[in-house]
Structure 1
Amino acid sequence: MNDKTAAYDVIVAGAGPTGLMLAGELALAGVRCRVVERREDRTRESRALGLHGRTMEVLNMRGVADEVLARANPIPRVRVSLGHSLFDMGELATDYGQLTIIPQGETEEVLEKRATALGVVVDRGVSLTDCRQDGGLVHCTLEQDGRTWQESASYLVGCDGSRSRVREAMGADFTGATYPYTIIVADVKLGTPLDDQLLIRVGRAGLVVATDFGNGWYRMGVIDREKPWSDDPVTLAEVDQTLAKLFGRDMRPSEPLWTSRFHIQERQASFYRQGRMLIAGDAAHVHSPLGGQGLNLGIQDAMNLGWKLAAVINGRAADDILDTYALERRRVSQGVIKVTDIATRMMTSDKLPARVARKAVMTVASRIPRTHKVAVGHLSGIATRYPSMSSAVGASPLVGTRVPDLRIAGHGGPRHLHEVLRHGGFVLIERGDGAPVLPSAAEGEGILLRLRGRIVADSGPWSEPEVVLVRPDGYCAWAGPRSRAQELSLAYRRWIQD
């Protein structure tokens, strides 16, 4: 599938976290990749600042989680002022039971460093102004400093934000709605200290989300139902007045690093792929920032798409594997849009039924162990699963679920699954010393790596199957006994053709 007449196999439009993560995934598989970004520099503002548990697991699978943590402030608990509700992500069955607070610019720096080390070319100050497909190529019109030229690639992926030029060229609708209120964000110091590192304060006038960066500054995200839209810059006086109104006391904000205001929207593209053009991240979906899901969805979009697109380009998978990217990820973003819409409307309404409902919902979700587990599981992404993978009759309930960082004790000593996944291919975990259950042709080529031994520690249902096949993005492709090896082979060949 490689077209050597083009300088690159893939052009990625957008060097935000989604585009850089995708470029790194493609380069890991040997795909020639170029990223074009209209901005001259990485964002200097904090912008999207929270990485959830599943995103941190994804970053650990690619060896950059430790660098992110070294720059971050991990916050394990979120307090909501309604009924003094507390959501403890430290109870999640993961090494990353927290919200990892790190400015977007630093996340981009880590991901760009990885991508360029793998050979990705990142060109800043370059805008994609047009694109069209012709046979086996996508032709891109690029512009920089008034100069216009054309470059071609086998595929184009738009990670170019909510105003995506790629999505527009694909002809995909971006349907949804704009909320009747706006959000103000400000990174400031507070003269009145908070007892919690992450607090959601809800009142009849609106809500404020206060997040501690861990270095003296707080991100204050404010929705004031009564504040009309303004094109004026956000001032410190406006932040001071709005916080005092919602907290009921003077918070004494000072030393603003960044302020902004924007409309809240919820939209989703009608499709994510048209031929050799695809979209990911904000180009494919936007939603209320309540819950901090946007950046996380984008990075996980990239993780899902990256290995599939690389497999097609390298001739190891049929073109229709790309349809599974949209099938799996569009459903996830659709669910997030639905939940954040309900939560935002319920949390900001001044109507009595909504006030009663939000207090009851928060109390139940935070204090009943089972509902608390469900709530933090979905918020963190740990509970995300791909039901389309488990459609086969008799498939294990583990198929389509995220595989934790299992520890496997074998002849070479114990190994962690996330560490093994850093090669970017499938991992086959086999208990015991029986004959291999898959042909070995793929071994040593970055496609499949085998782990023999036993799963140690308390791994719940993962200790039961004799064989577990793990996809490159850390989801279970098949699980079961050796006696059903033929099903395993079919499941593997659904994705990869050796």
Structure 2
Amino acid sequence: MADPRPLLAGQGTASELDCLVVGAGPVGLLLAAELSARGCQVAIIDALTEPAKITKASGVVPRSLEVLPSEVEAKLLKSGNLLKEMRILEKQENKPIKTVLSVQTAPLEVYHGILGIRQTETERYLTEYLTELPDWTQGGKKKMSIRRGVALESFTEGPMGVQCHLKLPEGTQTVTCKFLVACDGGRSTIRHQLGYSFDGTTTPEYFFGLDACFENWEFDSKDVVSVSLTQDKDPLAPGFAFNIPFGDGNCLLLVDLDLQQQKGWVTGETDRNGFPVLRQPEVEDVLRVARSRGLGQQCSVKPGSVKWLTHFRVNSRQVQCYGRGRVFLAGDACHCHSPFGGQGMNMGFQDAKNLSWKLATAIKCGGPTSSLLLSYESERKTLESKLLAGIERGQEVVSSRNPLIFFMRGRGQRLVNMLTFLQPTILKTVAQQMWSYRTSSLSMEHWERPVPTCFPITSICPAGGYRRRQNLHRWVKTRVHAGDRVPDASLPGGMRVHQILKRSRGWTLLLFEGGEEENLDMEKHLGNKVLSLSELEAFGAGFKSTSDPTNFVPMVDEVICFPAQDVEAHHIFGVHGQCLFLVRPDHYVGFRCEPLRRGAVYRYFRLACGISHGMPEDAPASSRVFDPLPVIVWTLILLLVIFLFL
């Protein structure tokens, strides 16, 4: 039921918020929770009086589990089904169905798999977490609540805030907020009012979806995501069948139908794209397609187990801009795509995590921080454009009925399956590149190299040794770069890096003691004192921020020191000499600094985030990415050797 109280109880019809979030789906819930946890006055509204009971987003990927609050993560892992393997099966005419590709996820991720769980449950756990947080609009004396049955009719943006006109069951209300965020789905009213186009295409393929307990079928494994590709004379056989099992014995089965296959369900009407409108399928309709695709002629549904039955056509679209001024879009309001790949809700979680800490910084610091807020669109739109393009191409290949493509697709799968020893490396490289912000304005690195004071060979020799090693280390792909997702590593006491990142409200500082040999070289050539472990800990403590959530500032909330003996962590991060990583609140590396320079960290906050702390920035300028001196030195040496030899 809708909350009968005014949006901000006891403050009249016009009130001021730090942020108003429109849409109480998973993305809006996470965004509101992140802002509230940082002491922001936030309200979340939804036009629906009750949450939608749908299966829709049925998989939570490891990257989402990493950024979700610990309380939510624990409940999801307890009730969800952790899927550690993905299989692609193939069914040809007069041949039994067989597996042609199997990918193990265990070696690649913190959580060792994709979590099969319904969107309804994910929303419930996020709601429970959110409503336990303090409501800072009430001075933190009450718990947060979701105002349902409240619709945003219109808004007007001004220089100091956004005036929002709301429609409540008992009347209207005007609320002023510093920022307005639309998490109101693919038909976002805020996106329409901004006048943004939602460019993209609608696919001719149609999808049937069924959440039920299946019996007597080929997808018998309870911890495997399966995709079956079929080519047969049966008119309904060509296409795919996707299955993701849940923890309660039910599975979500998705099947696609091309225009020819859709004829058995047409209503005679056409949609705005000129495609036929289909009638709502029955359970037996979905089973009929499943049987045609090799899932078993006796395939059936356990009576009383059906939780969701749907049909839909897929859109692949992305909004032209992710925000304007003080109004932002997140989740399905700015992108939608095929369920192939299971990235819809998960991309929205990354939007919420990326945007929330930037809004909190702008709210709490009171400065313009325009570069910080603009980075939301540049980071998320760039990354999601690549994801959407990849999902669209994958959907085209999987849904293709062309016999030649079916043949070539099967050969490619077999080749990948033969090269099992390469799968972890390939998948890890693709994931790292796909989820990286290396080109972002917030991704910076600070390196220093010795500068010769005169020409004698004794002065320039270090350029051919130490500087050459730095060049190679700076270019190497195996190390963690600024903009990369932070990998996980174990810590003393049984804790892990990602557990610390989860509890941090702000930035996290990772300090590496470095190897003895590399540190001696650094001290010799750069003149920078290498710190002992105790000095390293004192260095990090100097950055620690206040623990009061109402005084959130963009400073370090957690510090992790890795001693030289922790060889595993040094290897995972690709560290040789003493250095630091400044980790953003969304678990990406914002700044990498070698050697340690306190002033370089403050300079990073000012230049990248637009935040000045008034602290001294007494650090040398960073060297260029390419250092030509070692190349010149070694080229001259090589030419000299050739000359003497000739």
- TM exceeds 0.5? yes
Report the CA distance between 1:167 and its aligned residue: 1.2
Change (3 A) 1:185 1:376: farther
**Which residue does 1:427 correspond to in 2?**
508
**Which residue does 1:44 correspond to in 2?**
53
- Which stretch shifts more, 373-382 or 397-406? 373-382
**Which residue does 2:484 correspond to in 1?**
401
Report the CA distance between 1:487 and its aligned residue: 3.5
**Which residue does 1:346 correspond to in 2?**
397
Alignment of 1:351-370 (within 5 A): 351-369=402-420
TM-score (norm. length: structure 1): 0.91
| Letter of the structure 1 residue corresponding to residue 584 of structure 2 | R
Q: CA separation in 1, counterparts of 2:129 and 2:598?
A: 37
| Runs (4+) off by over 6 Å | 378-382
Asked if 1:201 corresponds to 2:312, the answer is no
Alignment of 1:265-344 (within 5 A): 265-315=315-365, 318-344=369-395
Report the CA distance between 1:7 and its aligned residue: 3.0
Q: CA separation in 1, counterparts of 2:29 and 2:171?
A: 25
Q: CA separation in 1, counterparts of 2:243 and 2:436?
A: 30
**Which residue does 1:451 correspond to in 2?**
560
**Which residue does 2:79 correspond to in 1?**
71
Task: Please tell me whether the aligned partners of residues 33 and 121 of structure 1 are also in contact (alpha carbons under 8 angstroms).
Answer: no
Asked if 1:111 corresponds to 2:212, the answer is no
Q: CA separation in 2, counterparts of 1:363 and 1:486?
A: 54
- Which stretch shifts more, 333-342 or 368-377? 368-377
- Which stretch shifts more, 395-404 or 469-478? 395-404
**Which residue does 1:17 correspond to in 2?**
26
Structure showing the higher strand proportion among its residues: 1
| Letter of the structure 2 residue corresponding to residue 253 of structure 1 | V
Residue 288 of structure 2, aligned match among 229, 236, 241: 241
Asked if 1:490 corresponds to 2:603, the answer is yes
Change (3 A) 1:146 1:262: farther
Q: CA separation in 2, counterparts of 1:54 and 1:23?
A: 19
Task: Please tell me whether the aligned partners of residues 61 and 113 of structure 2 are also in contact (alpha carbons under 8 angstroms).
Answer: yes
Change (3 A) 1:345 1:174: same
Q: CA separation in 1, counterparts of 2:117 and 2:432?
A: 18
Residue 222 of structure 1, aligned match among 255, 259, 262: 255
Report the secondary structure of 1:96's partner residue: coil
Q: 1:136-188 CA deviation, whole Å, 9 max, x = no partner?
A: 12122222337333222111000000111111122221100000111111111
| Letter of the structure 1 residue corresponding to residue 57 of structure 2 | A
Q: CA separation in 2, counterparts of 1:220 and 1:183?
A: 10
Q: CA separation in 1, counterparts of 2:418 and 2:436?
A: 25
Task: Please tell me whether the aligned partners of residues 445 and 591 of structure 2 are also in contact (alpha carbons under 8 angstroms).
Answer: no
Q: CA separation in 1, counterparts of 2:334 and 2:121?
A: 23
- Which stretch shifts more, 217-226 or 438-447? 438-447
Task: Please tell me whether the aligned partners of residues 43 and 104 of structure 1 are also in contact (alpha carbons under 8 angstroms).
Answer: no
| Letter of the structure 2 residue corresponding to residue 104 of structure 1 | Q
Q: CA separation in 1, counterparts of 2:534 and 2:366?
A: 29
Change (3 A) 1:100 1:381: farther
Task: Please tell me whether the aligned partners of residues 88 and 227 of structure 2 are also in contact (alpha carbons under 8 angstroms).
Answer: yes
Change (3 A) 1:407 1:249: closer
Report the CA distance between 1:439 and its aligned residue: 8.6
Q: 1:80-126 CA deviation, whole Å, 9 max, x = no partner?
A: 0146201111121x331201011111111111222222233311121
- Which stretch shifts more, 264-273 or 190-199? 190-199
Change (3 A) 1:48 1:129: same
Q: Which ranges of structure 2 fall in alignment gaps of 5 or more residues? A: 1-10, 91-98, 136-143, 232-237, 264-275, 448-473, 514-532, 614-646
- Which stretch shifts more, 393-402 or 461-470? 393-402
Report the secondary structure of 1:90's partner residue: coil
Task: Please tell me whether the aligned partners of residues 365 and 375 of structure 1 are also in contact (alpha carbons under 8 angstroms).
Answer: no
Q: CA separation in 2, counterparts of 1:326 and 1:309?
A: 13
Aligned-pair Cα RMSD in Å: 2.6
Q: Which ranges of structure 1 fall in alignment gaps of 5 or more residues? A: none
Report the secondary structure of 1:256's partner residue: coil
Q: 1:435-463 CA deviation, whole Å, 9 max, x = no partner?
A: 65579365224531323342846332426
Asked if 1:466 corresponds to 2:579, the answer is yes
Q: CA separation in 1, counterparts of 2:436 and 2:239?
A: 33
- Larger relative contact order (Cα-Cα within 8 Å, sequence gap ≥ 6): 1
- Which stretch shifts more, 453-462 or 245-254? 453-462
Which is greater in Rg? 2
Q: CA separation in 1, counterparts of 2:107 and 2:543?
A: 41
Change (3 A) 1:402 1:366: farther
Task: Please tell me whether the aligned partners of residues 88 and 376 of structure 1 are also in contact (alpha carbons under 8 angstroms).
Answer: no
**Which residue does 1:475 correspond to in 2?**
588
Report the CA distance between 1:130 and its aligned residue: 1.8
Change (3 A) 1:185 1:371: farther
Task: Please tell me whether the aligned partners of residues 167 and 283 of structure 1 are also in contact (alpha carbons under 8 angstroms).
Answer: yes
| Letter of the structure 1 residue corresponding to residue 62 of structure 2 | G
Report the CA distance between 1:371 and its aligned residue: 5.6
Report the secondary structure of 2:602's partner residue: helix
TM-score (norm. length: structure 2): 0.71
Report the secondary structure of 2:286's partner residue: helix
Residue 126 of structure 1, aligned match among 150, 156, 170: 150
| Letter of the structure 1 residue corresponding to residue 130 of structure 2 | A
Report the secondary structure of 2:370's partner residue: coil
**Which residue does 2:311 correspond to in 1?**
261
Q: 1:452-489 CA deviation, whole Å, 9 max, x = no partner?
A: 34284633242625312111111111224334554333
